[in-house]
Structure 1
């Protein structure tokens, strides 16, 4: 459910693409830190920032000395890709010149994490095809990857228009959008020549979204956005006029070229879903699985892990379903019946969708008051739930979150895809709010952003194994905090989504290692957990476009819960849940292997105390 997402707090490969700054001088290193190493990390941070201007805008830091970034988009051309590879190699060389044994404990952790991201990035960059979405993708343009599906929403909701300079920067980015489209169309052609192209069903979705975006300037979101917001600030109407001219002269032709290329690929596309069919497909999947989960488990091990986890969760679901009067049929059949309960369905209308979002915001408010009982520190940022924009619903994930602006000027956002409200019955909403919002992604991300002990490069990087593992643990924590004591159906929803994450491990590896087809993968979700077919289809299609990432959730969850169980067993009555949470959250986002080591060191210190 991941900006897993237009901006990821994302995969290890994405960790190299740090997103933020706007700080005009390097912050003073925390006490006990090596000043020279702190300076090096700040240099890395700024170098990454210059490559990813969207991130600076998203966190509200494209100001002052970095104000030029507000008028730019990332360079996705061949030259830009080559520059990214060169920068990563140069940073690895600078890290290799450091003797990590001479660093203090905090600096050594930063060194290990940053080195991990650069090595992971190098492994992904070794493949001369693909792009990025929720993680490494073999397809530069798909239903979930590509500028066409990320830039319009970014410009509409993240690019500020408060001044004439902002409006000029918006126009500059419109021109940059057209350049990005053409660069990615060229990469589509390049990759297809190497035997790498999306399957037919992904191209069908991509073409639907591309053609939906291709409307006259008078109807285009990109034109309407600047017209509406510039007028609200009393700015000249010429900005809207210029946007319309730019859109007609550059963006529409670029969209037409990308649509034509997608149609050409569709004419010869296969229906095979997995990357196993691609040149270097097995190698790519191994790298994608490793970099997105940060686990060293093989595809075969992940598949078995998912099957074992699912079996245990189904046993718990069976008991709870029987208690609610659902005793006949498989777990999947009984959950499917619950999905059809009229009392749990919101009307598939704008009013019904608004009611669903209101309920989600209520759950967000309800849990916030309980957080101090299990956490010693709570982020000050605001958070809210919104609906996925209708124009991107078909390809968007079912739910995801985006971080707040670092200065608090924009809240952290949780998005629900309400294309069909039948896919989101009421009993399934709360646990997803806790996963995406509090105490999940927004909580963990907010703590990282406000952590004064972390350098900026660590605050703004991320790993799916850690982030998604924590968010899944947060769902469990909400149950332990009593949020379902008066809501037994909500507890069923919580366990249903635990089962969903276990099944993801089975399905993702099934597609890419064991050669499952799209329909087989969708049927598995429907049969095993009663999943809504449309929901299951979008999830499966996402895994086809971004292999491996879906496995990060349950693998990460198992590390957090394993460490907690180990601590409870060893410490007994001395176990303090707040201290445990401090131990796994204070170091910031780390690969799972490093999280395991960090947790074990904390536990050893507690045992000695």
Structure 2
């Protein structure tokens, strides 16, 4: 049948008119929901790891289970274009016409896309803020001791990609191939960034190369990415060929990609300097200003961050001094006395594997205790589904002391508290309980489960200042519930942890804005906070590669406490501890500016 051109045009016009009519028939909230749904699917397509981490890579999204995000320059360019397009659509919404809940959703999504767009304005580095698994870290370096596919993907596959069926195992193998492509994409970007004058500091470059070489030297059958599939496939009674296939992919695809990455990094050693801060990079001061905005979701300047850290540190030391005196530590600065306390054998774990076992048992005891207390702190608790796991020895040399996060939305996978056990000396009996509350319950794992009650797009997005500020506030909740009433040295560990985060404000801004050296950063921690030198060196190295991230902790914590003070003042006798906590954690992961509006709504509701 032949169609006349005019008929085709008329039909097309009619279709567009019907679509416009349908769109105009939507309420503002419905139109916003439709846009947010499209953004959600685009976000999951750009970052398939987020779909797996959230447990939504099934049914219509099953294709995402065998994919990884692109780490190539062209792939990052596609994501950058998506960010700009999405932001344009969000800005066209009439937010004043939306209901309070939908306005909050749109505000949160728009804020994170604005931050991402700002990061993509720089022609170097890696913008991770939209990838749920690594949204806390943005970096000017595509590969570092704690950045890149080599560090992130094997542990992601082990902890998030479940192996229960043949389809799971096949998808894992496809992702192993994709992992090799990620490595090559990063290698090309590392070389390109070096041409722009962006090279890792020499001490980070040496650490990164050591990690890559050490893991590369192991037999393929012993690689974590291989044994993870082999062990779990056997447990699921799947074919033994999966172990062989994984080893083959490791040998034929991944190992050559790692070799290429090592070769490019080695070629940059002569160009690397000892300068630790991003001030040395093109537009370095601008980059740090953006990194601070992304890390704190505030407009604080480096000088303001620096002064906040010094002020907080003085206040915390004032609380620590009388406790130290009460347990017999009366001479020297607070930092010096905390250093002496850390050497007290009464508070140390045993050496070697015996100490590692003691640490794991200690953590379980503290989790059991805090669970029994939380009914006083929350009216609407979550499950707190959790597994405690040692960080892989392959990467623990460059890893932090611990980290944690929630499981999947459907509850099929638990949250994880990953603990660094490269040496038991990293932890003491007076600071490990506090670390557990921060990373697990009522910290990251606990808070993460509350996000599962939000629309999917909100579950997928995270803000460093909120999540880390909450984790510090979780430590405070534990203290307020009396966990240290019979163990004042444990309260010292808690206060030292807060002081540690105050030091981060000083050191991060010192390195990136005031041109401090790595050694100055380490010395400040040891001198002012009595911190463990082994832990602190890795910490400072982390700030060098993740500028601004470490500042989110105390900025977020201070903001939550200021909002609590405001709520108590406004409500008087109507203020309720558990209701406030429910409001903070129940509103989801939000920027600090938005959290203020969440608490305003709580106060208004409590007034009646």
Q: Give the TM-score normalised by the residue count of structure 1.
A: 0.92
Q: Pick closer, same or farther for the CA change 1:157–1:108 going to 2, 3 Å.
A: closer
Q: Pick closer, same or farther for the CA change 1:571–1:381 going to 2, 3 Å.
A: closer
Structure-1 residue corresponding to 2:503 = 503
Structure-2 residue corresponding to 1:306 = 309
Structure-2 residue corresponding to 1:143 = 145
Deviation at 1:260, TM superposition (A): 0.8
SS of 1:394's partner is helix
Structure-2 residue corresponding to 1:486 = 486
RMSD: 1.5
Structure 2: tracts of 5 or more residues without a match? 1-26, 129-133
Structure number with greater Rg is 2
Deviation at 1:231, TM superposition (A): 2.3
Whether contact under 8 Å (1:38, 1:455) holds in the other structure is no
Q: Pick closer, same or farther for the CA change 1:579–1:224 going to 2, 3 Å.
A: closer
Distance (Å, rounded) in 1 between the aligned partners of 2:422 and 2:431: 15
Q: Deviations over 1:170-199 (max 9, x none)?
A: 111111111111100001000000000110
Distance (Å, rounded) in 1 between the aligned partners of 2:171 and 2:601: 49
Q: Work out which of the residue numbers 359, 363, 368 in structure 2 matches 1:360.
A: 363
SS of 2:417's partner is strand
Distance (Å, rounded) in 1 between the aligned partners of 2:318 and 2:474: 21
Q: Which stretch of structure 1 is more off in the superposition, 131-140 or 102-111?
A: 131-140
Structure-2 residue corresponding to 1:534 = 534
Distance (Å, rounded) in 2 between the aligned partners of 1:227 and 1:590: 39
Whether contact under 8 Å (2:50, 2:460) holds in the other structure is no
SS of 1:34's partner is helix
Whether contact under 8 Å (1:59, 1:403) holds in the other structure is no
Q: Deviations over 1:424-468 (max 9, x none)?
A: 11110011111111111112111121x2xx311112211111111
Q: Pick closer, same or farther for the CA change 1:88–1:347 going to 2, 3 Å.
A: same
Q: 5 Å matches for 1:104-503?
A: 104-131=99-126, 132=128, 134-214=136-216, 215-449=218-452, 451=453, 454-503=454-503
Distance (Å, rounded) in 2 between the aligned partners of 1:141 and 1:510: 23
Deviation at 1:554, TM superposition (A): 0.8
* 1:567 pairs with 2:570: no
Whether contact under 8 Å (1:200, 1:270) holds in the other structure is yes
Structure-1 residue corresponding to 2:41 = 46
Distance (Å, rounded) in 2 between the aligned partners of 1:598 and 1:592: 10
SS of 2:388's partner is strand
Deviation at 1:156, TM superposition (A): 2.5
SS of 2:268's partner is helix
Structure-2 residue corresponding to 1:588 = 588
Q: Which stretch of structure 1 is more off in the superposition, 489-498 or 58-67?
A: 58-67
Q: Which runs of 4+ in 1 moved over 6 A?
A: none
Whether contact under 8 Å (1:216, 1:248) holds in the other structure is no
Deviation at 1:544, TM superposition (A): 0.3
SS of 1:296's partner is coil
Structure-2 residue corresponding to 1:26 = none
Say which structure, 1 or 2, has more relative contact order (CA 8 Å, 6+ apart).
1
Whether contact under 8 Å (1:130, 1:137) holds in the other structure is yes
Deviation at 1:411, TM superposition (A): 1.3
Q: Which stretch of structure 1 is more off in the superposition, 311-320 or 583-592?
A: 583-592
Distance (Å, rounded) in 1 between the aligned partners of 2:97 and 2:441: 38
Distance (Å, rounded) in 1 between the aligned partners of 2:207 and 2:379: 45
For these two proteins, the number of residue pairs brought into alignment is: 574
Distance (Å, rounded) in 2 between the aligned partners of 1:354 and 1:59: 31
Whether contact under 8 Å (1:339, 1:422) holds in the other structure is no
Distance (Å, rounded) in 2 between the aligned partners of 1:244 and 1:570: 62
Q: Which stretch of structure 1 is more off in the superposition, 298-307 or 566-575?
A: 566-575
Whether contact under 8 Å (1:361, 1:384) holds in the other structure is no
Distance (Å, rounded) in 1 between the aligned partners of 2:143 and 2:271: 16
Deviation at 1:267, TM superposition (A): 2.3
Distance (Å, rounded) in 2 between the aligned partners of 1:96 and 1:594: 17
